[in-house]
Amino acid sequence: MKDRTLQKILEAEEIRQRNGLELIPSENYVSRDVLEALGSVFTNKYSEGYPGKRYYGGQENTDQIENIAIDRAKKLFGSDHANVQPLSGAPANLAVYQAWLNPGDTVLAMKLDHGGHLTHGAPVTHAAKLYNFVRYGLSDISTGEIDYDEMRQVALKEKPKLIIAGFSGYPRSLDYKKFVEIGNEVGAVLMADMAHIAGLIAGKVLDNPLDFGFHIMTTTTHKTLRGPRGGLILSNGNVSNPLRAPEKTIENLPTLIDRQVFPGLQGGPHMNNILAKAVAFGEALDPSFKVYAKQILKNSKKLSEELIKHDFKLVTGGTDNHLIMIDMPTSFGIDGRITQEAFDKIGLTANCNSIPDDKLPPYRPSGLRLGTPAITTRGLVEGDMVKIADWMKRAVVNRDNEDILKKIKKEVRDFSIKFPLPSDN
Ligand code: DSN
C-alpha cells in the first residue's frame, strides 16, 4: 500500500491478530483465497438485479460467480433458494421482515438478555418501530432450558406472523421441532437466524433448522462459516422471476425475499464479496470443513471444563456449541468489561456481554463471551485449552499487576506465533 500511514496500521493489526488469540465467538480467520477474492477487480463492478436480470451491461462474469455462490449455498444448507446479496446479517433479517410482514405485525423472538440478537427487535432498532416484537426466554437459567410452554402460550395469545429461532449469546441447542409445532399451530412463518452456528450446521455437527420445517434461514457468512463479512438468506419454496411481484404466500417466500433484498433494501450487490462467499462456500463443502466444525465443538467443551476447574461460573453450566458465557460477578466479583480489558492486556481477545436477567447495563455487563471458531482455525486442539483457561485465571487474579500481565502476554505471544494464520498459506 502506498499510503504509509495506513500501511503501518494494517501491519499493526496483522501483528495483533498473529501475536494473540481471537476468542470472540463471532470472529474467524479467512483463507488467502477469500482475502484475494475480497481484494479483486469485482469490487469495480455494479450489478443491480439478479443473474440474467441485471440493469447494467458487462455482467457475463458477475452472473457466473453469483450463480456459483447460490448453487453452493443451496447445496451446503439443503434449501430451495439462496440469496447471496445481503450486505450483512442485519439487512438479511430486515429483508425477511419486509418480505413477510406488514407494519404493526407481531414477531415472536428470544429475549435479548437471554441470548437474542439486536436485530430481533431491540427497542433501539428501526425494526422495533415497524413491528410488534413479543418474547420467549429461558425457564431455567442454570441449564439454559427454553420455556417452550410459555412460548406456546405467548404465540397463542399474540398470533405472531413470524417466529424467530436464533441468538448471539446462547450456548445451548434449540429444540427446532418444538418451534415448528408452535409455529404451525398458530400459522406463523418460521425463521432461523443461524448467524453464529451456520458453520456448525454446514459441517453437520449441529442440526439444520430447515430439516425440521423452518421456512427461512438467515446467517452471516463470516463467523463459523469462515467467509467474508456478509449475509445470506436460505429459503424453501417456489423461485420465480424477481422482476414480478408474486402473491404473498409461504410458497413464494424465495421471490418475496429476493425483491426485498433488491430493490427493497439494497442497491448494487458487492460482487467482490459475492466472489469471496462463493470461495468460502466451496471451502465449507470440502470434507475437511466437517473436521474443523467437529474440532470447534471439542475445543469449546474442553475450554468450558477447564474454566470450571478454575472457578469460572458458566451461564447455563456449560456449552453445546462454539460459545461460552461466563458470569463474572458470581465468579470473581468483577464485571465483564474489566475482564475483557484484562484479557486485552495479555493478548486474548473476548467480549463482554449481557447475561440472562443481567443487573448491570449493556456497556458494562456481567458476562464475558468466548468462542472457539477462530482458535480452531489457527490449529489449536483440546490440550491448548488447558493453557488458555490458566492464562485467563491468572489475568483475572492479577488484573492490577502490570508486571505479571506483561509476563503472561509474552507467554501468549510465544505460544500464538507458532500457529500461522490461514492467509499465510
Ligand atoms: N456482532 C455479532 C456478534 O458478535 O454476535 C452479532 O451481530
Is residue 219 lining ligand 1, measured as CB closer than 6 Å?
no
Alpha-helical segments (H) within 30-145: 32-38, 60-77, 89-100, 126-130
User: Rounded to an integer, what is the distance from CA 101 to the centroid of its chain?
Assistant: 23
What would the pLDDT profile of 121-167 be if each residue is shown by its tens digit? 999 999 999 999 999 999 988 999 999 999 999 999 999 999 999 99
Of ligand 1's listed atoms, the one at least distance from the Cα of 24 is 4
Mutate to test the pocket of ligand 1, among 23, 26, 112 (most ligand atoms within 8 A of CB): 26
Mutual angle of helices 287-309 and 382-397, in 10-degree steps = 40
List, in order, residues 6 or more apart from 219 with CB less than 8 Å away: 89, 92, 193, 194, 195, 198, 225, 231, 232, 234
Where exactly does CATH 3.90.1150.10 map onto the chain?
288-420
Mutate to test the pocket of ligand 1, among 196, 325, 369 (most ligand atoms within 8 A of CB): 196
Q: Distance of CA 116 to CAs 46, 67, 112, 135, 410, Å?
A: 35, 32, 4, 10, 37
Is residue 26 lining ligand 1, measured as CB closer than 6 Å?
yes
Residue 258 has pLDDT above 90, yes or no: yes
Preceding peptide of 254 cis, ω within 30°: no
**Coil, strand or helix at 92:** helix
Residue 24 C-alpha cell reads as 470472540
Question: Is residue 367 within 8 Å of 340, Cβ to Cβ?
Answer: no
User: Rounded to an integer, what is the distance from CA 398 to the centroid of its chain?
Assistant: 32
247 CA → ligand 1 middle, Å: 34
Confidence band of 200 (pLDDT split at 50, 70, 90): very high
- Using alpha carbons, select from 354, 373, 297 the residue that is nearest to residue 137: 354
90 CA → ligand 1 middle, Å: 10
361 CA → ligand 1 middle, Å: 18
Residue 185 bears catalytic tag: no
Residue 147 bears catalytic tag: no
Averaged pLDDT for residues 206-210: 98
List, in order, residues 6 or more apart from 182 with CB less than 8 Å away: 148, 151, 152, 155, 163, 188
Averaged pLDDT for residues 272-276: 98
Where exactly does CATH 3.40.640.10 map onto the chain?
33-285
CATH code of the domain made up of 33-285: 3.40.640.10
196 CA → ligand 1 middle, Å: 8
pTM: 0.97
Integer Cα distance of 190 and 206 in angstroms: 18
What would the pLDDT profile of 383-424 be if each residue is shown by its tens digit? 999 999 999 999 999 999 999 999 999 999 999 999 999 999
Of ligand 1's listed atoms, the one at least distance from the Cα of 369 is 4
Averaged pLDDT for residues 90-112: 97
Averaged pLDDT for residues 286-308: 98
Question: Is residue 290 within 8 Å of 48, Cβ to Cβ?
Answer: no
Domain at 288-420, CATH from 3.40.630.30, 3.30.70.141, 3.90.1150.10, 3.40.720.10 = 3.90.1150.10
Strand 351-353 to strand 138-140: parallel, antiparallel, or no bridges (unpaired)?
unpaired
Integer Cα distance of 33 and 20 in angstroms: 23
List, in order, residues 6 or more apart from 203 with CB less than 8 Å away: 224, 284, 289, 290, 292, 293, 294, 296
